[in-house]
Amino acid sequence: MIIKSIEVIPYAIDYKKPLKFASGMVNVADHVLLKLVTEDGVVGYADTPPRPYTYGETQGSIVSVIETLFAPKLVGLKLTDAERIREVLHKTIGNDAAKGAIDIAIWDALGKTLELPVHQLLGGYANSLKVSHMLGFDEPAVVLDEALSMREQYGINAFKVKVGRSPAKLDLAICKALRDGLGDSADIYVDANRGWTANEALAALPALMDAGISTFEEPCDAKDAMGRRELVKKSLIPIVGDESVPTPGDVSRELLSGGCTAISIKTARGGFSNATRVLDLCEGLGVEVMIGNQIDTQIGTAASLAFGAAKKATTKKAAELSNFLDMADDLVAEPLTIANGEMRVSALPGVGVEIDLEKLERYRLR
């Protein structure tokens, strides 16, 4: 149960096609694999996606903060020393992806030590989650084709559409094309990644409503507090906080000040422990949540699935679990599968994936 070592392994795997959105583009998974070993020889893994343009973390900064600040203080603690571990991680502001990987690897090692799946340890509510697919910027016909093929091949019928461009009509045309092409049964919702001003988002609302959009994520920068609050007051659909709410403190601030009315929970950001606190806070306040995607690999997706399936509140809406399908390869020994629009939890102890060590050798950068 005692943490013996924490190793960080930067690696790079290409995407078959890039995902483009208002705050950036991803065409390579330049992530960090975290490997935690206990004195009993149990190995816990977690994946760390850097998002410099959103949270300021890079592949290099993740490696550095873990190697120089966190790992030296965590080695020697028990996997169950949760509050002591939290105290170490709280020594820095931010670094939420790095902290998330440490937390998830600890849970993975704990599950393997106890020979139990982490979704059981976290709550064990469901065996599967409905899957939502995230659609990046492209021509309306191309985006619709992707959505139709996701429905045809995997049974997915929930789609998050990236918006936030100028002119807004580029994005509104995509929303209309998707509704016309997918029909009324599809859940279609949008994410502007802060690309619009509050007034641009407000101007887009009627067309979004016409297209039957169910929720509107990060329409504008939450720091533009007055405009954002006006927008929230005027919107008939939930305004979802994502990058504005990585921690429980951020969630409290944004919900209580009227900056958003629903919360996207991402395990890559702070891990299961942070996600549990965010979820409990939202439940206490009666606020809707959804499981978001940090453009995760299969390792990260397995973590989102383990958490989302464990808790009742996160099983209501489809969870964003499918964007690993765009990657040219992955580090897992057995690929995750999506069938009938659902992903089932793994029966393996821990988070539920095994690492293919040959692939890790192939893609590691050092």
Active site residue ranges: 162, 191, 217, 242, 266, 294
Q: In whole angstroms, how far apart are CA 182 and each of 74, 150, 156, 179? A: 49, 11, 11, 5
Chosen from Mg ion, ligand MUC, none, partner binding at 296 (C-beta under 5 to 8 Å by type): none
Per-residue binding letters, 195-234, with ligand MUC (x by CB under 6 A): ----------------------------------------
Under 8 Å between Cβ of 131 and 342 = yes
Which residues lie across from 288 on neighbouring strands?
A: 262
Pick 9 or 131: Cβ nearer Mg ion:
131
Stretches 222-230, 291-299, 337-345, 352-360: which one binds ligand MUC (CB under 6 A)?
Answer: 291-299
| Element at 27 (helix H, strand E) | strand 24-29
Rounded CA-CA distance 105/79 in Å is 10
**At its nearest, how many Å lie between Mg ion and the CB of residue 296?**
13
Answer for which of 47, 191, 200, 326 binds ligand MUC (CB under 6 A) is 191
**At its nearest, how many Å lie between Mg ion and the CB of residue 261?**
15
Kindly state the DSSP code that residue 139 receives in the 8-state scheme: -
Which residues lie across from 46 on neighbouring strands?
A: 34
User: Is 117 strand, coil or helix?
Assistant: strand
Site for ligand MUC in 231-250 (CB under 6 A): 242
Helices (H), 18-139: 52-55, 59-64, 71-74, 82-89, 96-114, 118-122
**At its nearest, how many Å lie between ligand MUC and the CB of residue 280?**
22
For position 293 contacting ligand MUC by CB under 6 A, the verdict is yes
| Element at 133 (helix H, strand E) | strand 128-135
CA 111 to chain centre: 21
**At its nearest, how many Å lie between Mg ion and the CB of residue 190?**
10
Chosen from Mg ion, ligand MUC, none, partner binding at 200 (C-beta under 5 to 8 Å by type): none
Stretches 9-17, 69-77, 281-289, 292-300: which one binds ligand MUC (CB under 6 A)?
Answer: 292-300
For position 191 contacting Mg ion by CB under 5 A, the verdict is yes
Query: Which residue's CB comes closest to Mg ion?
Result: 242
Answer for which of 51, 99, 151, 317 binds ligand MUC (CB under 6 A) is 51
Chosen from Mg ion, ligand MUC, none, partner binding at 51 (C-beta under 5 to 8 Å by type): ligand MUC
**At its nearest, how many Å lie between ligand MUC and the CB of residue 76?**
33
Pick 39 or 53: Cβ nearer Mg ion:
53
For position 295 contacting ligand MUC by CB under 6 A, the verdict is yes
Write down the residue that tokens 């064990």 correspond to.
124
Per-residue binding letters, 136-175, with Mg ion (x by CB under 5 A): ----------------------------------------
Q: In whole angstroms, how far apart are CA 17 and each of 148, 192, 228, 325, 328? A: 17, 20, 33, 10, 9
Stretches 143-151, 167-175, 253-261, 293-301: which one binds ligand MUC (CB under 6 A)?
Answer: 293-301
What tokens appear for 352 in the block? 């539920």
Rounded CA-CA distance 30/92 in Å is 23
Residue 342 neighbours by CB under 8 Å, 6+ apart: 128, 129, 130, 131, 155
**At its nearest, how many Å lie between Mg ion and the CB of residue 81?**
33
Kindly state the DSSP code that residue 165 receives in the 8-state scheme: -
Q: How many residues bind ligand MUC (CB under 6 A)?
A: 10
Answer for which of 221, 242, 250, 254 binds Mg ion (CB under 5 A) is 242
Helices (H), the chain: 52-55, 59-64, 71-74, 82-89, 96-114, 118-122, 140-154, 169-182, 198-210, 225-234, 248-256, 271-285, 298-310, 357-363
For position 21 contacting ligand MUC by CB under 6 A, the verdict is yes
Binding site for ligand MUC (CB under 6 A): 21, 51, 54, 191, 193, 242, 292-295
